[in-house]
Amino acid sequence: MKQLISIALFILVAVAVVGWGSDSLQPKTAVPEVSIDRTIHTFQSQSPAEKNAVSQPQVDSSRLWKHVETLAGEREGERARSFTRDYISQQLKTFGFSPKLQEFDRGINVFAERKGTDSNAGAILIAAHYDTVPQSPGADDNATGVAAVLEVARLLGSRPTPRTLQVAFFDREEIGLLGSLAFAGSPARLKNLQGAIVLDMIGYACRTAGCQRYPEGLKPQPFLDAAGVTSPDKGEFIAVIGDAEHPLLLGTFAESPQADLPPVMTLPVPLKGLLTPDVLRSDHAPFWYKGVGAVLVTDTANLRSPHYHQSTDTLANIDRPFFIGSAQIVVNATAKLLEIR
């Protein structure tokens, strides 16, 4: 996950293009507090009968773990990234997909889709970046995200749904979101796209008081309360961050929490994050600035994990039950969104 985006550049973004800034932990400019609509909305994307009629497939914890085991290791150089692309492509082929490569300056994305049964229903994209920073194994950042996207492809790739399922694996997120910028910069890729789910670090939990922090300028307490988070200073929840203009995506993640899965804190961000650049640090941001609804699913990275961008981002520091539960949450939400006409 990219560390920080300069607020000054994002003022320019609001007018023209997206700019990417410093990798320091703190904003260069003080971020004013943002007034957020704290009303807890309820969403009904499907009737109760439709929800009951669609059973959600269950993730295979062994498969998920095997993906992370295979992928964990520095993926910054071309050789390592090429191995990762080959692994992703081979997995997709075994699931019945025909993966394609999208080349761009300094990197290559992997993309595949399974057509829906209703050509007018549009598509849902689920994506994760596969590169790392130098000298970091990137087990959480972002082998966990890649593994979960592969599991979604396996579980839902052969399942007939009204909407088309698209999967993408972005390259070069760590040096400026280059892969997602290239993807979102292609009008053909955005045609009929009804929403994007971006996974970036979904496998780390912390359970000591004070280990969880929050972006400057945001007041998440109402949303933590709505998610049933009783210890907000502990990192035991998964966060889903979306632009306030597209509440259906957030609402789908908020529906039907399960006691055996991590709590889901859904956070609507106004003004496309212009005044809160700390929420623009991953591959969902280019979609926001193209007017496409997108959510970031994350364990909140360095706001929780001391292993972020470090050599200690290893398999040993992944919380396996939390990771498996987070992946199941993603599968559940994706399956629901694919059923909407």
- pLDDT number for residue 255: 87
Please state the φ and ψ torsions of residue 235, each to the nearest 5 degrees. -100, 70
Q: What is the pLDDT of residue 259?
A: 86
| 119 or 23: which leads in pLDDT | 119
* pLDDT for res 215: 79
User: pLDDT band for position 61 (50/70/90)?
Assistant: very high
**Interval 111-132 mean pLDDT:** 98
pLDDT recorded at residue 217: 73
Confidence band of 257 (pLDDT split at 50, 70, 90): confident
d(CA 138, CA 204): 12
Cα angle for residues 173, 248, 179 (degrees, 5° grid): 15
Whether residue 139 contacts residue 318, with contact meaning beta carbons closer than 8 Å, is answered with yes
Q: Could you tell me which residue, 274 or 69, shows the higher pLDDT?
A: 69
C-alpha distances (whole Å) from 211 to each of 26, 207, 249, 276, 334 are 17, 7, 28, 21, 30
Split at pLDDT 50, 70, 90, the class of 265 is: very high
pTM: 0.86
**What pLDDT, on the 0 to 100 scale, is given for residue 256?**
67
Q: Give the separation between CA 246 and CA 240, rounded to whole angstroms.
A: 13
Class of domain 56-338: alpha beta
Question: Can the peptide bond before residue 192 be classed as cis, meaning omega within 30 degrees of 0?
Answer: no
Q: Which residues contact 236 (CB under 8 A, 6 or more apart)?
A: 205, 206, 207, 229, 262, 263, 322
With a pLDDT cut of 70, the percent of the chain lying above it is: 84
pLDDT at 17: 36
Cα distance between residue 193 and residue 240, in whole Å: 19
For residue 117, which amino acid is it? Answer: T
| Sequential DSSP letters for 41-70 | ----SS-HHHHHH-PPPPP-HHHHHHHHHH
C-beta of residue 206 within 8 angstroms of C-beta of residue 235: yes
Which has the closest alpha carbon to 267: 221, 211, 213? 221
Q: Are 137 and 73 in contact (CB under 8 A)?
A: yes
> How high is the pLDDT of residue 54?
52
Kindly list the domain boundaries of the chain, sorted by start residue: 56-338
| pLDDT surpasses 90 at 142 | yes
Average pLDDT, the chain: 87
pLDDT in tens, 5-57: 443 334 333 333 333 333 333 333 333 333 334 333 333 334 443 443 457 99
Q: Which residues of 232-257 are buried (b: 16+ CB within 10 A; e: fewer)?
A: bebbbbbbbbbbeebbebbbbbbbee
Beta strands 294-298 and 238-243 are: antiparallel
- CB under 8 A, 24+ apart: contacts of 51-54: 51/256, 51/336, 54/335, 54/336, 54/339
pLDDT tens-digit map of 270-320: 999 888 888 999 999 999 999 999 999 999 999 999 999 999 999 999 999
Q: What single DSSP character describes residue 133?
A: -
**Which residue is associated with the tokens 């007017």?**
291
What share of the chain in percent tops pLDDT 90? 78
DSSP letter, residue 36: -
Distance of alpha carbon 116 from alpha carbon 300, whole angstroms? 32
Strand 193-199 and strand 123-129: pairing? Answer: parallel
